[in-house]
Amino acid sequence: GAGVSQSPSNKVTEKGKDVELRCDPISGHTALYWYRQSLGQGLEFLIYFQGNSAPDKSGLPSDRFSAERTGGSVSTLTIQRTQQEDSAVYLCASSSQGGGQPQHFGDGTRLSIL
């Protein structure tokens, strides 16, 4: 079946603008994760959704970052008033359950802040 789909694949925007990144998880997966990957670095956890539970927002770097997951499926990561340090690849993953299960990743959105 289809994997995790992210859009756009690339986004270039000016400093101070807001951006929205979209993630379509694998159908039936209840858990959804957002990560950030800076150039040549590992993955930094941002936020986790599981079913109807309150999301784990412990990884969000500032209050400019927020995420929603509507209907238990599609998720949107929003970055307000973007800064140059927000430039990175934003990766979404989903899994059939929460912890202790493999997470399957999309190919990410490469965000560049000018």
Rule CB under 8 A: is residue 108 a binding residue for other proteins?
yes
When asked if residue 98 is in the footprint of other proteins (CB under 8 A), the reply is yes
Distances (CA, A) of 87 to 29, 49, 68, 69, 70: 28, 23, 21, 23, 26
Peptide bond into 61 cis (omega under 30): no
Q: Select the span of 13-21, 42-50, 62-70, 75-83 touching other proteins (CB under 8 A).
A: 42-50
Smallest separation, CB 111 to other proteins (Å):
14
Question: Does the footprint of other proteins cover residue 1 (CB under 8 A)?
Answer: no
Identity at 70, one-letter amino acid code: T
ω into 8 cis (within 30 of 0): yes
Structure tokens at 60: 């969000």
Tell me which stretch binds other proteins (CB under 8 A): 14-22, 61-69, 72-80, 105-113.
105-113
Smaller CB separation from other proteins, 14 or 52: 52
99 near other proteins, judged by CB under 8 A: yes
Hey, what are 107's tokens? 């190919």
Q: How far apart are CA 55 and CA 46, in angstroms?
A: 11
Give residues in contact with other proteins (CB under 8 A).
4, 31, 33, 41-43, 45, 48, 50, 56, 59, 91, 93, 98-100, 102-108
